[in-house]
Chains A and B, each alone.
Chain A
Amino acid sequence: MRGEGTLRAGFLLAILFLAALYTYIAFTELSYLSSAGRLGPGFMPRIIGVALVAMCALSLHADAKHRGAEHSVAPGWRSAAVLALLSGVLVALLEVLGGLVSMMVFMGAALWILNRGRPLQNVLIAVLLPVGTHVVFAVWLKASMPRGMLPFLS
């Protein structure tokens, strides 16, 4: 596993890359003045972009200067990664299976991984919580719920 300092620099570099892209678009595609001669759509993005790139570069320089010993990542990183992965799977499933079934699949999988050894409790929660959420949002609030690609599941 890479050290915390390297990952921190990687995160800052990612922001710098996106900031540079944002600034490039601001300068090349958005005009500084409008056709009426007033400040145009590119005025603020140019200021923001330049400031963001400058701050990222300054931070990278300062971090490199004061870089201490590398700390290893916290022990819970594996659980956090599993949780993030499960969240992504839930969002992806919404488009395929629709709201209710996706929620049940997600809760079942998440509890199977995180709450081992309690099958009855897990099944009950994985069914009741999604049904309750569905009733609140779809029935009571009449909010839109993802329908999914499989008509018989929606």
Chain B
Amino acid sequence: MDIFSNLLIGLSVALTPVNLAFLFAGVMLGMVVGIIPGFGPAAGIAILLPITYGMNPTSAVIMLSAIYYGSMYGGTITSILLNTPGESSSVASTFDGYPLAQQGRAGPALVMQAVASFIGGTFGVILITLFTPLFSLVTRSFGPPEFFLLVMMGLMTLIAMIDGNWRYGVISALIGFALGTMGVDLETGQTRFTFGSAEMIGGIDFIPIAIGLFGLGELYYVFYQGMHLEGAGIVQYRKEKRFWPEWRDYVETRFTVVRASILGFFIGVIPGAGATIASLMSYSLEKSLSPTPEKFGKGAMAGLVGPEAANNAASSGAMVPLLSLGLPGSAATAVLLAAFLMWGLTPGPLLMTEKPEFAWGLIASMYLGNMALLALNIFAIPLFVLMIKLPYRILAPAVILICTIGTYSVNGSMLETWLMFAAGLVGFFMKLYGYSPAALVLALVLGPLAEQSLRQTLTISRGSFGIFLERPASIWIMGVTVVILVAGILLYRKRQ
């Protein structure tokens, strides 16, 4: 009953005209961010963060969160019409989405992906509503050892799930940790790695790093791969006789959408796993359960619906550790955490009780945001098709311009602007050689927390690491981490 009364409070916050306007702006921007290949939600949120400075904190976070889950919807449009995923989480949607479009079923594919995304997203929000307060209650007893282990778990999961060289993943995370140690040591007041610069005393702000790695770095990579030279081979959906799906499309995928939503949400809850893993696992699951697995990859509707429901449910699931523990599980949620902190909102076990109007306002806005996205994805497709046609040669300079000015406007710092440019170059090489910019950003954000927690833990235990084996919650977290690592190793071997 308490949950429902809180949700009503949340709805009263989310339904104010100002918050509704920013929610709608957020979902629109999220769609645009999702549509642009190589430009993810982390970069989108980081670049748009400075624009929210003059706003009310709740409106700002509602808008930035809407960009995050809105991008999950947008990424699929290019997967279906262009065979190019707008987001990594939409890669699985190309497997059957594009073949469906080639068979003259682009309209039904677009509508079905919108419906599946809506069901997955809304299902995820319902579980957030139920699970986040529960999580907050459980995690209230967590101390420094558990927080340290949770940070490690998130990073290890991210590294274990990297589709490539795990050593490069570890190096990426360690670089992030190293950058996180720069500035004043909060416990002793001593400066570290500042090289005499007054601007460095505050440490390295992760916003220029995130904008550089995910904004500029990805853009350089897109150009390097020659994607800007490719002609827009967009499949025309308006030429079709039937735009709406047939009844059998809904009937055949009714269990798929339920399975994918459940799977996606729980994968999303695990820090570091994320929407991409969820969508790929859902695709594999559906293919293995299907009586006609040979149709997968040739235009099976379940092959599109499963990943779509899963990645949207996962993006909702990722909000649970963020809201209840203050731990982001991906680069995009790390940027969201920065937005929360910028507004003086500290996510964690006490957020739900100390700032209920904010926490529940955000959750309630996600129900409304998913509804708006469903409508947009069905009725505003021509608008987004126009955006797909916008050439990279015009888009790229515009994105660079906004990245640069956006970074400067945060603190009016030229050092940070140069840092963003350097991060762009580093991000390009990281992407090119299979390093993990996401692990770097996550470690940069969580590094100070990990260091503080570890030092506090060792102070409590008088230098003994045995403390991690003395607390039941710590043992549980380590157990889950081991399971995830084993799963990651098995996946890695399977890929090899």
Please name all residues of chain A whose beta carbon is closer than 8 Å to the beta carbon of B234 when the two chains form the complex.
Answer: none
Within 8 Å of chain B (Cβ to Cβ): is A91? yes
Say how far B151's CB is from chain A's closest CB, in angstroms: 12
Say how far B248's CB is from chain A's closest CB, in angstroms: 43
Please name all residues of chain B whose beta carbon is closer than 8 Å to the beta carbon of A3 when the two chains form the complex.
Answer: none
A94 and B228 contact, Cβ closer than 8 Å, known pairs A45-B178, A83-B219? no
1/0 per residue, CB under 8 A from B, across A134-147: the answer is 00110011111110
Please name all residues of chain A whose beta carbon is closer than 8 Å to the beta carbon of B181 when the two chains form the complex.
Answer: 44-45, 48
> Which residue on chain A has the smallest CB distance to residue B212?
A87
> Which residue on chain A has the smallest CB distance to residue B463?
A39
Question: Is the CB–CB distance between A79 and B223 below 8 Å?
Answer: yes
Using a Cβ–Cβ cut-off of 8 Å, how many residues does chain A contribute to the interface with B?
63
Within 8 Å of chain B (Cβ to Cβ): is A114? yes
Which of B170, B188, B406, B458: most chain A Cβ within 10 A? B188
Question: Is the CB–CB distance between A41 and B188 below 8 Å?
Answer: yes
Question: Is the CB–CB distance between B51 and A80 below 8 Å?
Answer: no
Question: Is the CB–CB distance between A76 and B223 below 8 Å?
Answer: yes
Please name all residues of chain A whose beta carbon is closer than 8 Å to the beta carbon of B216 when the two chains form the complex.
Answer: 84, 87
Question: Is the CB–CB distance between B178 and A48 below 8 Å?
Answer: yes
Within 8 Å of chain A (Cβ to Cβ): is B242? no
Within 8 Å of chain B (Cβ to Cβ): is A119? no
Within 8 Å of chain A (Cβ to Cβ): is B360? no
Please name all residues of chain A whose beta carbon is closer than 8 Å to the beta carbon of B342 when the two chains form the complex.
Answer: none
Within 8 Å of chain B (Cβ to Cβ): is A15? yes
Question: Is the CB–CB distance between B223 and A144 below 8 Å?
Answer: no
Question: Is the CB–CB distance between A86 and B400 below 8 Å?
Answer: yes
Within 8 Å of chain B (Cβ to Cβ): is A154? no
In the complex, A59 Cα to B398 Cα: how many Å?
A: 37
Say how far A144's CB is from chain B's closest CB, in angstroms: 3
> Which residue on chain A has the smallest CB distance to residue B51?
A141
In the complex, A77 Cα to B54 Cα: how many Å?
A: 40
In the complex, A136 Cα to B402 Cα: how many Å?
A: 11
Say which residue of B53, B177, B408, B459 sits within 8 Å of A141 (CB atoms). Answer: B53
Question: Is the CB–CB distance between A88 and B408 below 8 Å?
Answer: no
A55 and B185 contact, Cβ closer than 8 Å, known pairs A84-B424, A95-B414? no
Within 8 Å of chain A (Cβ to Cβ): is B473? no
The interface-forming segment of B254-262, B425-433, B482-490 is B425-433
In the complex, A75 Cα to B412 Cα: how many Å?
A: 37
Question: Is the CB–CB distance between A49 and B178 below 8 Å?
Answer: yes
Question: Is the CB–CB distance between A38 and B405 below 8 Å?
Answer: no
Within 8 Å of chain A (Cβ to Cβ): is B123? no
Say which residue of B53, B175, B420, B425 sits within 8 Å of A84 (CB atoms). Answer: B425
1/0 per residue, CB under 8 A from B, across A31-53: the answer is 10011001111011100110110
Question: Is the CB–CB distance between B397 and A56 below 8 Å?
Answer: no
Question: Is the CB–CB distance between B170 and A88 below 8 Å?
Answer: no
Please name all residues of chain B whose beta carbon is closer than 8 Å to the beta carbon of A49 when the two chains form the complex.
Answer: 178
Say how far A153's CB is from chain B's closest CB, in angstroms: 16
A110 and B397 contact, Cβ closer than 8 Å, known pairs A49-B178, A94-B404? yes
Within 8 Å of chain A (Cβ to Cβ): is B421? yes
Question: Is the CB–CB distance between A48 and B174 below 8 Å?
Answer: yes
Within 8 Å of chain B (Cβ to Cβ): is A149? no
Question: Is the CB–CB distance between A114 and B396 below 8 Å?
Answer: yes
> Which residue on chain B has the smallest CB distance to residue A75?
B226
In the complex, A34 Cα to B425 Cα: how many Å?
A: 37
Question: Is the CB–CB distance between B178 and A43 below 8 Å?
Answer: no
Question: Is the CB–CB distance between A84 and B394 below 8 Å?
Answer: no
Within 8 Å of chain B (Cβ to Cβ): is A74? yes
1/0 per residue, CB under 8 A from B, across A86-109: the answer is 111011001100010001001100
Within 8 Å of chain B (Cβ to Cβ): is A69? no
Question: Is the CB–CB distance between B185 and A41 below 8 Å?
Answer: yes
In the complex, A34 Cα to B188 Cα: how many Å?
A: 7
Please name all residues of chain A whose beta carbon is closer than 8 Å to the beta carbon of B404 when the two chains form the complex.
Answer: 87, 90-91, 94
A56 and B188 contact, Cβ closer than 8 Å, known pairs A83-B220, A91-B421? no
Within 8 Å of chain B (Cβ to Cβ): is A127? no
In the complex, A103 Cα to B401 Cα: how many Å?
A: 7
Say which residue of A41, A90, A144 sits within 8 Å of B409 (CB atoms). Answer: A144
Within 8 Å of chain A (Cβ to Cβ): is B455? yes
A62 and B167 contact, Cβ closer than 8 Å, known pairs A76-B223, A99-B405? yes
Within 8 Å of chain A (Cβ to Cβ): is B266? no
Say how far B38's CB is from chain A's closest CB, in angstroms: 12
Say which residue of A41, A59, A77, A136 sits within 8 Å of B165 (CB atoms). Answer: A59
In the complex, A136 Cα to B188 Cα: how many Å?
A: 41
Say which residue of A11, A30, A88, A136 sits within 8 Å of B421 (CB atoms). Answer: A88
In the complex, A39 Cα to B463 Cα: how many Å?
A: 9
Question: Is the CB–CB distance between A59 and B171 below 8 Å?
Answer: yes
Within 8 Å of chain B (Cβ to Cβ): is A13? no
CB-based closest 5 A-B pairs: A144-B412, A143-B409, A110-B397, A76-B226, A41-B185
* Residues on A facing B (Cβ under 8 Å): 8, 11-12, 15, 19, 22, 25, 30-31, 34-35, 38-41, 43-45, 48-49, 51-52, 55-56, 58-59, 62, 74-77, 79-80, 83-84, 86-88, 90-91, 94-95, 99, 103, 106-107, 110-111, 114-115, 125, 129-130, 133, 136-137, 140-146
6 additional contacts (CB under 8 A) given A110-B397, A133-B401, A144-B411 = A76-B224, A79-B224, A91-B418, A94-B404, A137-B50, A137-B409
What are 16 A-B pairs with beta-carbon distances under 8 A? A34-B188, A38-B187, A41-B192, A44-B181, A45-B181, A51-B170, A52-B174, A55-B174, A62-B167, A94-B417, A95-B414, A107-B397, A111-B397, A115-B394, A130-B401, A145-B408
